[in-house]
Amino acid sequence: MKYVFALAGNQNSGKTTLYNALTGSNQHVGNFPGVTIEKKEGQIKKHRDASLVDLPGIYSLSPYTMEEVVTRDFILKEHPDLILNIVDATNIERNLYLTLQLMELAIPMVIALNMMDEVRASGNSIDVKKLSEHLGVPVVPISASKEEGIPELVDVAMKTAQEKRSPKKLDFCSGEVHKAIHSISHLIEDQAKENGYPVRFAATKLVEGDEPTFKAINVTENQTHIISHVVEEMESALNTDREAALADMRYSYIEQVCLDTVIKKQETKEQIRSEKIDRILTHKYLGIPIFFGIMFFIFWVSFGAIGAPLQGYLEQLIGNFTDFVSKLMIAGNVSEWVYSLVIDGIFAGVGSVLSFLPLIVILFFFLSLLEDSGYMARVAFLMDKLLRKIGLSGRSFVPMLIGFGCSVPAIMATRTLSSERDRKMTIVLTPFMSCSAKLPIYGMITMAFFPENAALVMIALYIMGIVVAILSGLILKSTIFKGEPVPFVMELPAYRVPSKRSVLLHMWEKAKDFMQRAFTVIFLGTIIIWFLQSFDWSFNMVDDSTHSMLATIGSLIAPLFIPLGFNDWRASTALITGLTAKEAVVSTLTVLTGTTTDAQLSATLSTMFTPLSAFAFLTFTLLYMPCIAAFAATTKELGSMKYAVLTALYQTLTAFIVGMLVYQIGNLFI
């Protein structure tokens, strides 16, 4: 028998760390049925008969956000064999709020009480046995980051699933709320069971006025009137609204449980330390400058101090291997066109992209540290005030932040925004954030024109993307997307030292993704580019690429970029191939220039651009429409090809205008 465990918990409770510890990140990545929120599913180590589905981090089962809808629908419709509820032991009162709601689903459940090492270190304690007795579900103390208690957790989870042991205690209400829930339970019991809804959960949701539950269990008009009357009586007796009444009921029970099980002498060391650090890092005036200072340091290390030498070593290795293959092919007397395809096409194109792998790995090493330490949550908090001025909330910063990695998951992540207006506006603005696929282009141009100021150019490009997004937001909020952003509530997790495993996994995933693109999309693209620049329209091989099919196509487009300071058909062609994948810009220019080393490429680029026009080229690359994959994601999220095309045209027009301004204004001072 195959068991399916659902991993559920609050954001920042250590869910991803626990998932990696349980599965070794042996994951299958897909989407939840009907939505494009990413679903991670992996096999639990040493248990081939058990898989773990990582559900989005949530705070309740009320359908206010897409994460909550996805989690609830997965549990109710997919019927997992067990819910593995991770609870942050350092903030147990807030975490148990979700726990009580999960218990109402009447599905076998085990609580993983995480970060117990921090609780012990602070002199606090939790009576795990008593907590388990109060809640009626097994509770296992663990430290996911140190992998303490993981074998015990797996054993208890497997046993609970095999025995189909549902939570013993579902009724923790009292007084008027108790009367309301139980009255409604008797009223809808039969139809709740018929429709596969746990009775207690359905009754609680009907008290909340949860519209999806009314539809799911087919509540009649007469029943709706009765439910309204019961709820009105409860609100009148308690002198509060229905949602506050349920929240008070849950927190009253949680308070009783914690009084009996938790001995809290002081805040944990991590919480005390976080408060001190936040006085500086989230300072009203210093917070954002500090963030940009940190990013400048990261770029300096990634593209200068460490990244550049490593890139040089890798380029040398690729060059040596290319020479080795070249000599073998010459010795083998292979035909001219095969030699050209392999050496001038594949090796030149793919090799030029692969040489930037060290830059990608180092950059994402630092970004992973910032994310796992809890600092990026602070950046979202800092950006909330700024984003509100352009008509968005700090919540939109999360997809934008993902956009610095890749536009595709960033656009998909907008599904988590509760406001349709905020969601569409974020989709339009997110591609202005510089994705990692553009890094090889930046590296290529800065190496050729700004080797002494690489970090400064990088930070300038990233800031430019953010500034353009802000200015675009101001325009859009007063024209197409009129309205106010939704409120933004976010938990700031305690600062923690990132686990070595998590950081290495993050780096490996980015490196693997980069290499997969290099050997698939870029590989195919280089072959096509080589063919088009090696043959004329009569399919005769040309000695001079200016007579090729590609030169003809590129020459038609090249004049459009004269206002940006460049008019070389090779540059315009590279921008077109960049629509398949942004890294293709580098491989295309390498193939078209016929260069085999970065030094040769830099020398050739200096004949195509001036430093100012090169920066205008970078500006256009930064802002014009993202790759085809991102365009497809935009089409799906906006629900219309027409709107996706308009979005791409807007982004490309913006790129052209900003690039032109950079060049034309720059010319006034140079």
Backbone angles phi, psi at 30, to 5 degrees: -145, -155
Does residue 486 have a pLDDT over 60?
no
Does residue 20 have a pLDDT over 90?
no
DSSP secondary structure code for residue 667 in this structure = H
**397 CB contacts (<8 Å, ≥6 apart)?**
379, 380, 383, 384, 387
**How many whole angstroms separate alpha carbon 296 and alpha carbon 319?**
31
| Angle at alpha carbon of residue 112, lines to 108 and 117, rounded to 5° | 165
User: Residue 384 in contact with residue 393, Cβ under 8 Å?
Assistant: yes
pLDDT at position 490, please? 63
pLDDT tens-place string over residues 249-275: 889 999 999 999 988 776 777 778 888
Strand partners, 28: 41
User: Residue 256 in contact with residue 93, Cβ under 8 Å?
Assistant: no
pLDDT tens-place string over residues 378-429: 877 777 777 777 777 667 776 777 677 777 767 776 766 766 777 888 888 8
Q: Which residue has the tokens 């920042």?
A: 12
pLDDT tens-place string over residues 128-185: 999 999 999 999 999 988 889 999 999 999 999 999 988 887 777 778 888 998 899 9
Q: Which residue has the tokens 């009084």?
A: 259
Does residue 318 have a pLDDT over 70?
yes
pLDDT at position 600, please? 82
| Angle at alpha carbon of residue 659, lines to 657 and 662, rounded to 5° | 110
pLDDT tens-place string over residues 432-475: 888 877 888 888 899 889 888 887 888 899 889 988 988 888 88
Longest dimension (CA), the chain: 94
Would the CA dihedral through 20, 364, 284, 424 be positive or negative? negative
Tokens of 516: 């997969």
Q: Which residue has the tokens 């950046």?
A: 379
DSSP string for 407-419: HHHHHHHGGG-S-
Q: Which residue has the tokens 């600062």?
A: 495
pTM: predicted TM-score of the whole model, two decimal places: 0.67
Would the CA dihedral through 452, 454, 455, 458 be positive or negative? positive
Would the CA dihedral through 53, 58, 61, 66 be positive or negative? negative
Map out the domains of the chain with their CATH numbers: 3-163 (3.40.50.300), 175-263 (1.10.287.1770), 288-484+500-669 (no CATH)
**How many whole angstroms separate alpha carbon 400 and alpha carbon 409?**
10
Q: Provide the residue type at 204 as one letter.
A: T
| Angle at alpha carbon of residue 560, lines to 559 and 561, rounded to 5° | 90
Least trusted range by pLDDT, from 78-82, 193-197, 308-312: 308-312
**583 CB contacts (<8 Å, ≥6 apart)?**
353, 356, 437, 440, 441, 514, 517, 518, 521, 522
**Cα dihedral 200, 205, 207, 209 in deg (nearest 10):** -160
**642 CB contacts (<8 Å, ≥6 apart)?**
none
pLDDT at position 418, please? 62
Which residue blocks in 374-433 are alpha helix, DSSP H?
375-389, 397-403, 407-413, 420-429
User: Residue 17 in contact with residue 145, Cβ under 8 Å?
Assistant: yes
Mean pLDDT score of the chain? 83
Does residue 29 have a pLDDT over 70?
no
- Which burial class, exposed, middle or buried, applies to 515 when counting CB atoms under 10 A from its CB (0-12, 13-18, 19+)? middle
Does residue 584 have a pLDDT over 80?
no
| Angle at alpha carbon of residue 34, lines to 646 and 66, rounded to 5° | 80
Residue 113 DSSP SS3 = strand
**How many whole angstroms separate alpha carbon 537 and alpha carbon 552?**
9
Strand partners, 30: 39
pLDDT at position 298, please? 80
Tokens of 446: 């800065």
Between residues 319 and 63, which one has the greater pLDDT? 319
Of 567, 524, 529, residue with least CA distance to 545: 529
Between residues 355 and 176, which one has the greater pLDDT? 176
**How many whole angstroms separate alpha carbon 157 and alpha carbon 171?**
23
pLDDT confidence band for 81 (50 / 70 / 90): very high
Residue 470 DSSP SS3 = helix
Tokens of 315: 């380029």
